Amino acid sequence: MFRHLREDIACILERDPAARNGFEVLTCYPGLHALFLHRLAHALWIWRLFWLARWMSHWGRFLTGIEIHPGAVLGRRVFIDHGFGVVIGETAEVGDDCTIYQGVTLGGTSLNGGKRHPTLERDVVVGAGAKILGPFTVGAGARIGSNAVVVRAVPAGATAVGIPARVLHDESDKRREAHAARMGFSAYALGQSLDDPLAIALHSLIDHAAEQGEQIEQILAALDKLGARPSEASHGHGFDARKLNELLDG
Ligand SMILES: CC(C)(COP(=O)(O)OP(=O)(O)OC[C@H]1O[C@@H](n2cnc3c(N)ncnc32)[C@H](O)[C@@H]1OP(=O)(O)O)[C@@H](O)C(=O)NCCC(=O)NCCS
């Protein structure tokens, strides 16, 4: 318990430029107090002392303004900064090294029992006021913009903003756009919505075509080295992106 406290203090000193020293962090950071009380409450919950666990969690909320259900599973070095108004639901899981700002809700959208709150993998940052609602996963290293409302999974390393949250371009998007541009085809003209089945299908097709293109280039380079590159005539017809565009427009 106290080893965890020491590493919690160290991680706050590391992540909050306003934190001056360990004593200040120990005495003036409600996020730290909430985590300490949550660990006690969670232990009581595991020992099936449910009322006592809820009562402990209630005191945590009373003292810090941060409500963490005793059933929630929080990893190590989680930093709840400022923290007022944070609500973390019963079946939520928060991975190691996550940072959560004030006003964040890790909530559910269903009244049924079972897993109904989100899972944050390690190193996720959730901006002030963001709501993450539902039993999906926010991938490792993802960043959720302040006041975003996230209602579906966010890939690892991505940044999601807005209501409902949309994923800003990540590395795979940039690669895909570069491949698509080489083929004279604008992937983003079709919309980036993670919901749109047409956009998803076309993104997969572009990825597949680009992957095959790269493989063919590698094969041709190898044949070149062997002095056995086939003549231009035997290449057949390549991918005609313009035709695809025309078909879609029509
Ligand atoms: C989401 C976030 C991590 C993005 O940071 P970033 O990668 O540096 O992104 P940028 O600032 O370059 O913005 C990228 C785009 O997202 C938009 N954007 C950024 N944050 C946004 C937000 N919270 N809501 C809606 N749109 C947002 C920007 O306007 C920009 O749009 P554009 O490309 O159309 O111009 C950051 O803006 C954020 O919200 N961090 C949380 C900080 C916080 O809560 N601090 C509390 C301290 S008490």
User: What residue spans define the domains of the chain?
Assistant: 2-189, 192-249
pTM equals 0.74
Question: Which value, in Å, is the radius of gyration of the alpha carbons in the chain?
Answer: 25
Ligand 1 pocket by C-beta < 6 Å: which residues? 82, 101, 127-128, 143, 145-147, 159, 161-162, 168
The residue assigned the tokens 């062997």 is 226
Nearest CA to ligand 1 atom 46: 128
CATH of 2-189, one of 3.40.50.2020, 3.40.47.10, 1.10.10.10, 2.160.10.10: 2.160.10.10
> In testing the pocket of ligand 1, which one of 168, 171, 173 has its CB within 8 Å of the most ligand atoms?
168
Instruction: Inform me whether the pLDDT recorded for 250 exceeds 90.
Output: no
**Centroid of ligand 1 to alpha carbon of 149 (angstroms):** 13
Instruction: Inform me whether the pLDDT recorded for 236 exceeds 70.
Output: no
The DSSP code for 190 is G
Cβ count near 175 (within 10 Å): 12
Residue 72 phi, psi (nearest 5)? -65, 145
pLDDT at 214: 81
Q: Which two tokens stand for residue 208?
A: 């597949």
- Residue 145 makes CB contacts below 8 A (sequence gap 6+) with 127, 130, 159, 160, 161, 162, 165
> In testing the pocket of ligand 1, which one of 98, 102, 146 has its CB within 8 Å of the most ligand atoms?
146
**Centroid of ligand 1 to alpha carbon of 146 (angstroms):** 7
What are 114-145's pLDDT values in tens digits?
999 999 999 999 999 999 999 999 999 999 99
Nearest CA to ligand 1 atom 36: 145
Instruction: Inform me whether the pLDDT recorded for 10 exceeds 90.
Output: yes
What are 70-122's pLDDT values in tens digits?
999 999 999 999 999 999 999 999 999 999 999 999 999 988 889 999 999 99
Closest approach atom of ligand 1 to CA 147 = 23
